[in-house]
């Protein structure tokens, strides 16, 4: 169910959610062609910033119908301590309900041509991507975490999406040993295809608003992501 947009330019759609409020907001872009596969974009711990909106815009230019749910309800920050607090204060269950509502909303939109959605997330959102895919099962056909992991207790048995991950060799907050262990658990619990790419880069290497930005790694990971989403979401549509 969609509603009129509000005064926040990065909250141009409202959709149903099983949270107490009954709804959530997000930023949606449709490609110029008017239709395309659906992709959920999950924010970093900074919130639904201009950077995340730019990623949604870029997906739309690539031919996808892209939606970034606003998990912080309009709050953003560029201060790492405040970002850490916002992430800590975000109830995991509420985030899960908002993300589930976003999947339903996207799949119900007439512009979306795929029978499943892709889920792409960065930092905090990278962990949420894998949780969402495990929660939503067949409704998420492709999962792309960028330098983020869920907790070690995450149950991946319900996950049906192929997984493509992007991680930095110089990332001190997400060790590659933990990344590889998560990949092993994904294969064991879900039996899905898991491909992990490692880059000569630190954490958040795609974020061109931060000093960790590494253009070459960012663009290679972006190209791999769009190719993967096109292939997996097209295959899901063909088999539906």
**List of E strands, 97-219:** 112-122, 140-146, 162-168, 194-199
Is residue 4, in this structure, part of any structural domain at all?
Answer: no
pLDDT band at 4 (very low <50, low <70, confident <90, very high): very low
pLDDT tens-digit series, residues 127-137: 999 999 999 99
Q: Give the model's confidence band at 1: pLDDT under 50 very low, under 70 low, under 90 confident, else very high.
A: very low
Give residue 51's pLDDT: 96
The answer to whether position 225 is within a domain reads yes
Whether residue 8 lies inside any domain: the answer is no
Q: What is the pLDDT of residues 64-98, one digit of tens each?
A: 999 999 999 999 999 999 999 999 999 888 898 89
Beta-carbon-side half-sphere exposure of residue 113 (alpha carbons within 13 Å): 17
Each as own residue / partner, the long-range contacts of residues 19-25 (CB below 8 Å, 24 or more positions apart, any chain) are 19/94, 19/97, 19/98, 23/101, 24/69, 24/70, 24/97, 24/98, 24/101, 24/102, 25/69, 25/70, 25/73, 25/74
Answer whether residue 236 shows pLDDT above 80: no
DSSP H or E run through 135: helix 124-136
Does residue 38 lie within any of the structural domains? yes
Confirm whether 5 is domain-assigned: no
Confidence of residue 122 (pLDDT cuts 50, 70, 90): very high
Tokens 């892209």 locate to: 66
% of the chain exceeding 70 in pLDDT: 94
Q: Is the pTM of this model over 0.85?
A: yes
In a domain, 6, yes or no: no
pLDDT of residue 234 exceeding 90, the answer is: no
Residues assigned a catalytic role: 123, 171, 203
Domain-embedded: residue 2: no
What mean pLDDT comes out for the span 38-53?
97
Is the pLDDT reported for residue 235 higher than 80?
Answer: no
Average pLDDT over residues 207-225: 97
Say what percent of the chain tops pLDDT 90: 83
For residue 34, give the CATH number of its domain. Answer: 3.40.50.1820
Which pLDDT score is estimated for 2? 39
Is 148 contained in some domain? Answer: yes
Per the structure, the complete domain to which residue 79 belongs is given by 13-239
Considering its fold, how many domains does the chain have in total?
1
């Amino acid at each position: 169910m969609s509603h009129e947009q509000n005064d926040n330019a990065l909250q141009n759609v409202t959709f149903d959610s099983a949270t107490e409020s009954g709804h959530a907001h997000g930023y949606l872009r449709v490609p110029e062609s008017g239709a395309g596969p659906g992709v959920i974009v999950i924010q970093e711990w900074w919130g639904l910033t201009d950077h995340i909106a730019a990623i949604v815009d870029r997906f739309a230019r690539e031919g996808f119908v892209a939606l970034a749910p606003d998990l912080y309800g309009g709050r953003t920050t560029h201060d790492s301590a405040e970002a850490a607090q916002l992430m800590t204060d975000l109830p995991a269950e509420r985030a899960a309900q908002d993300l589930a509502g976003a999947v339903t909303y996207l799949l119900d939109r007439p512009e979306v041509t795929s029978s499943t959605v892709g889920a792409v997330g960065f930092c905090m959102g990278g962990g949420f991507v894998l949780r969402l895919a495990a929660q939503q099962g067949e409704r998420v056909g492709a999962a792309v975490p960028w330098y983020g992991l869920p907790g070690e207790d995450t149950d991946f048995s319900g996950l049906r999406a192929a997984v493509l991950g992007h991680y930095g060799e110089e990332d001190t907050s997400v060790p590659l040993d933990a990344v590889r262990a998560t990949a092993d658990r994904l294969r064991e619990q879900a039996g899905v295809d898991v491909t992990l790419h490692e880059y000569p880069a630190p954490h958040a290497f795609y974020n061109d608003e931060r000093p960790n930005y590494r253009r070459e790694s960012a663009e290679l990971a972006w190209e791999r992501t769009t190719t993967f989403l096109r292939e997996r979401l097209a295959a899901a549509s063909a088999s539906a």
